[in-house]
Amino acid sequence: MLVLINGVFGVRMREVAGRLGAAVDALEFTWGTPVVVDDVAKKLREKTYRIVAVVHAETSTGVRNPVAEIGALLKGTDTIYLVDTVTSLGGIEVRMDDWGIDALYSGTQKCLSCPPGLAPLSFSEKAMAKLGARRTKVPNWYLDISLIANYWGQNRVYHHTAPVNMTYALYQALLLILEEGPEKVFKRHLDNHLLLVKGLEEMGLKMVVEKPWRLPMLNTAYCPEGLDELAARRCLRSEYKIEIGGGLGPLAGKIWRIGLMGHTARKENVERFLDALRKVIS
């Protein structure tokens, strides 16, 4: 398989696949920049892959990867297109069928604003056919879709005890998004992202990611020169009850990661944060 990497969660995908015995090639891109579609196209001309995998919203850097464009390269091939939508689902558009995604997984605790503990996932017909044609057993009994499909189907064959309460929580979380309207939810994320960026730039901070690739729900900015970034985050937390993230990997100590996910993506939160940060860095 080919894993496209430009942050922590791409690295993790490679690690997970490698542990399961997959032969993994990787294309790596500078953290803070998106996957370059032309480089992927070139790689795909050199070699055919059973799976191509990418993270939609790189939570470690704030980059939105060109998922639709990569999907277009795979159209009509036998390759399974695997996309991590943990941070994107519920905050920006995710078009599984239109973008040719075959296997997609997410989390409940980001833009769905549901408690953590579930990983919603979806498979295309193509992926289900591939899973159904396996000649070896999945190493992980708990995640064997061929067994779980017997429960999903007409037979309702017991597989494992479902996390019922979490399922109700997810149902409610999705209902809240449908009631507000997904388009409005996406616009709310975008509007508050733009408000945040404007405020950060007015304070003299520089955004890490180029404009077209910025994630509204995960905003990264370089810390001002000479400032103790850890002390600033600690002060935000202790004095203002606001927690933001530090940089990871090559960006550790250099950037801040500011989440605006689901219910937290609101004007009053952005304004409260900007006020607090202004005081902390002044």
List residues binding a second copy (CB under 8 A): 12, 15-16, 18-21, 107, 109, 115-117, 137-141, 144, 161-166, 169
> Which residue's CB is nearer to a second copy, number 166 or number 195?
166
CB-based burial label for 68 (10 Å; 0-12, 13-18, 19+): middle
Smallest distance, Å, CB 51 to a second copy? 16
CA distances (Å), origin 117, targets 114, 163, 170: 9, 9, 10
Nearer to a second copy, 156 or 211 (CB): 156
User: Can you tell me the distance from the alpha carbon of 194 to that of 14, in angstroms, rounded to the nearest whole number?
Assistant: 33
Q: How far is the CB of 169 from a second copy (least distance, A)?
A: 8
Minimum separation from the CB atom of position 118 to a second copy (A)? 8
Whether the Cβ atoms of residue 192 and residue 258 lie closer than 8 Å to each other: no
Smallest distance from a second copy to CB 28, Å: 19
**Smallest gap, in angstroms, from Cβ of residue 48 to a second copy?**
25
Which residue lies nearer to a second copy by CB, 47 or 135? 135
| Closer of 73 and 114 to a second copy (Cβ) | 114
Residue whose entry in the numeric block shows the structure tokens 């606001």: 242
Q: Which is nearer to a second copy, 154 or 282 (CB)?
A: 154
Measured between alpha carbons, how far is 86 from 105 in angstroms, rounded to an integer? 7
- How many CB atoms within 10 Å of residue 26? 17
Q: In the complex with a second copy, which residue's Cβ is closer, 140 or 154?
A: 140
Cβ-Cβ contacts under 8 Å for 267 (sequence gap 6 or more): 191, 192, 195
Q: How far is the CB of 137 from a second copy (least distance, A)?
A: 5
Q: Are 89 and 60 in contact (CB under 8 A)?
A: no
Chain centroid to Cα 24, Å, comes to 21
Neighbouring CB atoms inside 10 A of 84's CB total 25
